[in-house]
Structures are given as structure tokens and as C-alpha cells.
Amino acid sequence: MRTLFSLLFLALAFVLAFFLYKSIEEPINFDAQRTVRTDAVTMKLEMIRKAQELYRDATGEFAGSFDTLKQVLTEGKLLNVKVIGDADATDGSIVTYDTTYIPLRDTFPGLGIKLENMDVVPYTDGQVKFNIEAKNIPYQSTNVPVVQVGVKKSAFMGKYADERFKRYDQMWDPNAPIYFGDLTKPTLAGNWN
């Protein structure tokens, strides 16, 4: 009888240990997946931001769609002005300017910009694309181009895109977007910093 009780208590201890492990496994997995997935999306947004800056350098505005962005980066040209001589010299020396155009497709690979699947959000099996919006707004008595590119966290968090995970992090909001830019002022800052 004593052996039977010992075995039952041992089995109960294993069951309780299993439930304890399961109770701490979920928050650890949530935090790990949130970090990995958010970092992947952030890296993609940083790449898109570089592409938008290059597009703006070539056109003077931001791209309102990924198709336009890819087309201009593939076919567009960037003005390159080379100053020959000392432009600040006061001795009357001659300064000349050599103006050439550089194909954009030659510049963006060095910046880490990859056009293929640029608009696809990581961890979505290619099903979700980033939202992109660009326009010109009046800002301090002049018109300036602005852009915003982002996606809701719920799009890439998979099974962790649930309000119930708020119990592990009070700041967790799966419906909050992760983005860069702003449509009300000229900034390209990201909200992940």
C-alpha cells in the first residue's frame, strides 16, 4: 500500500511539473517569436525606407505604390554633379561642373535594396503586403513629399496575434501598426525605435 501511494505521488509530481512547464513555455515562446518576427519586419521596412529615399532623390517625391517604386528603381536615373576645381576659391580660378546621370539599378544593390518581394511582409507566406501611401502636404509654407509604409502586427504574428497575450506584456497590442514615415509631417522615422 505504501508503495502504491509513493507511485501515485510520484505520478502526481510529474503531472504538476508538466503543467508548470507548460505555463512558462507559452510566455517564453511568445516573447521569442515577437522578437524574431518584429526584427524581420523592421529590417524589411528599413530596406523599403532606403528605396524610398533613393526614389525621392531621383524624382523629388515618394512612391505611392510598390510597382512605381520598383519601376523607377529599375529604369530611372539619378543626377550626379561632379565639381571640378575649388568652388570656394576666391582667387578667380575656374570651376566647372560635370553633370551626368547614373542608372538607379547600379546604386541600389550596394544599399542592400532587393526589389524581389519588397512589398511582401515576412512570416505571411506571401499573403500580406505592406500598406504604402505617399502624397505632398503643405508644411511650413511649402509643399513637401511625405510617405508612410507599414503593417499591423497581427498580420505577421501568426498564432500570437491575440489579445490574450497581453497578460504577458501589458503594452502588447496586435492591432497596432509597425511603420515608418508620417503623412502629417516630413519624417522617415520608424515607430520601432
Residues 6+ apart with CB under 8 A from 141: none
**Mean per-residue pLDDT, 178-185:** 96
User: Residue 103 pLDDT > 70, yes or no?
Assistant: yes
Q: What is the pLDDT of residue 177?
A: 96
**Mean per-residue pLDDT, 163-190:** 93
Q: What is the pLDDT of residue 151?
A: 97
Q: Tens of pLDDT along 144-174?
A: 999 999 999 999 999 999 888 998 889 999 9
Q: What is the pLDDT of residue 81?
A: 83
Q: What is the pLDDT of residue 83?
A: 82
**Mean per-residue pLDDT, 22-35:** 88
- DSSP assignment of 126-178 equals T--B-EEEEEEEEETTEEEEEEEEEEEGGGTSGGG-SGGGGGT-TT--TTSEE
**Mean per-residue pLDDT, 28-53:** 95
- Contact between 177 and 170 (Cβ < 8 Å): no
Q: Tens of pLDDT along 106-124?
A: 887 788 899 999 999 999 9
Distance separating alpha carbons of residues 166 and 172, to the nearest angstrom: 5
More confident residue, 96 or 73: 73
- Contact between 155 and 175 (Cβ < 8 Å): no
Distance separating alpha carbons of residues 114 and 42, to the nearest angstrom: 15
DSSP 186: S
User: Residue 193 pLDDT > 90, yes or no?
Assistant: no
Could you tell me the pLDDT band of residue 87, with boundaries at 50, 70 and 90? confident
DSSP 112: T
Could you tell me the pLDDT band of residue 45, with boundaries at 50, 70 and 90? very high
Residues 6+ apart with CB under 8 A from 113: 47, 50, 51, 54, 73
Distance separating alpha carbons of residues 58 and 78, to the nearest angstrom: 5
Average pLDDT of the residues of the chain: 90
Long-range contacts of 169-176 (CB under 8 A, 24+ apart): 169/30, 169/31, 172/34, 176/152
User: Residue 93 pLDDT > 90, yes or no?
Assistant: no
Distance separating alpha carbons of residues 155 and 130, to the nearest angstrom: 10
Q: Is 82 helix (H, G, I), strand (E, B) or coil?
A: strand
Per the listing, cell 543626377 goes with 79
